[in-house]
């Protein structure tokens, strides 16, 4: 695989970053994951706009223009001949001797690599996910897409250890979001309920597209918090993310949602999203 690191295209074995990079020492960096479908990027303008916002919130200067980032993305997709997969990009504040307070004028680091899409993902989507609840122990700026993903990794590992596929995080008795996706339910009276945007969740690019498609399809969308009990009593549930598109959730904390199979609204929204993405 050819990857990109600070101005160079290199075989992955040769790509190097300083041990003093603040991304490594302080998780001082942000990232984006864009999907590649039929060799093309999906909703990339949204991902780059969110990247700019994340950088601005943390006062990290952009390493280059967004047009240049897009050029690098396309070069990597071509050089690695990726038809279906994703492209990861990460910007960190840069490298200097370890110090909580950083120096002004550091040169940010930019790395990028592609990942092919495994067939496993589509199988999981067909069957649906078993999800468990976990306390949301993340920081209070989840709207910034930082690389500090340890709480999410721990929650996901717990879910796998308990025989589930993923966790939905709970704070103050309400679901925030999934470990790496936004959480949604369809109530028995056919409403799509999803948490409103705030610092408590990542403002998902896929979430935004799916809500627009849902409204166009005539579904009523309610942006409000919902509880674990509402998930158990929902007709359907699903997650959205760049890599999972719309993926059904078929059980929550061991309780079947609906009849325990992917529901019609979720299946329809997935089809609508895939058509939109292509």
Select 47 or 265, whichever has its Cβ closest to ligand PDD: 47
Smaller CB separation from ligand PDD, 202 or 250: 202
**What are 244's two structure tokens?**
């999972």
DSSP for 133-180 reads EEE--S-S-TTS-BS--HHHHHHHHHHHHTT-SEEEEEETTEEEEESS
- Which of 54, 73, 165, 241 is close enough to bind ligand PDD by CB under 6 A? 241
CA 253 – CA 246 distance, rounded (Å): 20
Residue 235 binds ligand PDD, judged by CB under 6 A:
no
Pull the structure tokens for residue 24: 């490594």
Q: How far is the CB of 202 from ligand PDD (least distance, A)?
A: 4
Q: Are 28 and 136 in contact (CB under 8 A)?
A: no
Residue 146 sits in the site that holds ligand PDD (CB under 6 A): no
Sole window of 16-24, 106-114, 205-213, 261-269 interacting with ligand PDD (rule: CB under 6 A):
205-213
- The span of 5-13, 72-80, 97-105, 199-207 binding ligand PDD (CB under 6 A) equals 199-207
Q: Which is nearer to ligand PDD, 95 or 113 (CB)?
A: 113
Query: Please, what is the minimum distance in Å from the beta carbon of residue 50 to ligand PDD?
Result: 7
- What track of x and - describes contact with ligand PDD for positions 254 through 273 (by CB under 6 A)? --------------------
Instruction: Give 123's contacts (C-beta < 8 A, 6+ positions apart).
Output: none
Contact with ligand PDD (CB under 6 A): which of 22, 93, 184, 207?
207
Give catalytic residues, as residue numbers: 145
For the bound state, the minimum distance from the C-beta of residue 226 to ligand PDD, rounded and expressed in Å, comes to 16
Burial class (CB in 10 A: 0-12, 13-18, 19+), 93: buried
> CB of residue 150 vs ligand PDD: minimum separation in angstroms?
13
What is the 3-state secondary structure of 66-118? Answer: HHHHHHHHHHHHHHCCCCCEEEEEEEECCECCCCCCCCCCCCCEEEEEEEECC
Give me the 164-183 binding string for ligand PDD, x by CB under 6 A, dash otherwise.
-------------x--xxx-
Work out the angle at residue 215's Cα, subtended by the Cα atoms of residues 242 and 207, and round it to the nearest 5 degrees.
20
> Using CB under 6 A, which of 18, 52, 75, 243 touches ligand PDD?
243
User: What's the CA gap between 3 and 105, in Å, rounded?
Assistant: 26
Nearer to ligand PDD, 194 or 251 (CB): 194
Which residues from 25-64 bind ligand PDD, rule CB under 6 A? 33
Q: Does 240 bind ligand PDD (CB under 6 A)?
A: yes
Cβ atoms of 135 and 29 within 8 Å: the answer is no
Contact in structure between 137 and 151 (CB atoms under 8 Å): yes
Q: For residue 67, what are the CA distances in angstroms to 39, 64, 247?
A: 18, 8, 31
- Token pair, residue 273, equals 């999203």
**Contact status: 92 vs ligand PDD (CB under 6 A):** no
Binding positions for ligand PDD, rule: CB under 6 A:
33, 177, 180-182, 202, 204-207, 240-243
């Amino acid at each position: 695989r050819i990857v990109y690191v600070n101005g160079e295209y290199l075989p992955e074995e040769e790509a190097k970053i300083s041990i003093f990079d603040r991304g490594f020492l302080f998780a001082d960096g942000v990232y984006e994951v864009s999907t590649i479908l039929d060799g093309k990027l999906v909703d990339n303008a949204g991902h780059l706009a969110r990247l700019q916002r994340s950088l601005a919130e943390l006062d990290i200067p952009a390493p280059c223009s967004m047009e240049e980032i897009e050029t690098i993305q396309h070069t990597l997709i071509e050089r690695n001949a990726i038809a279906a997969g994703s492209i990861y990009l990460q910007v960190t504040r840069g490298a200097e001797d370890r110090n909580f307070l950083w120096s002004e004028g550091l040169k940010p680091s930019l790395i990028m690599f592609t990942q092919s899409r495994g067939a496993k993902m589509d199988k999981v989507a067909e069957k649906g996910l078993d999800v468990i609840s976990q306390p949301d122990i993340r920081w209070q700026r989840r709207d910034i897409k930082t690389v500090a993903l340890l709480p999410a990794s721990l929650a996901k590992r717990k879910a796998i250890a308990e025989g589930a596929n993923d966790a939905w995080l709970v704070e103050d008795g309400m679901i925030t979001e999934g470990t790496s996706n936004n959480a949604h339910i369809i109530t028995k009276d056919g409403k799509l309920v999803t948490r409103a945007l705030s610092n408590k969740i990542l403002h998902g690019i896929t979430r935004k597209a799916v809500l627009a498609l849902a409204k166009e399809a005539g579904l009523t969308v309610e942006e409000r918090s919902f509880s674990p009990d509402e998930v158990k009593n929902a007709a359907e549930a699903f997650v959205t993310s760049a890599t999972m598109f719309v993926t059904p959730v078929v059980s929550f904390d061991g309780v079947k949602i609906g009849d325990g199979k992917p529901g019609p609204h979720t299946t329809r929204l997935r089809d609508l999203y895939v058509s939109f993405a292509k």
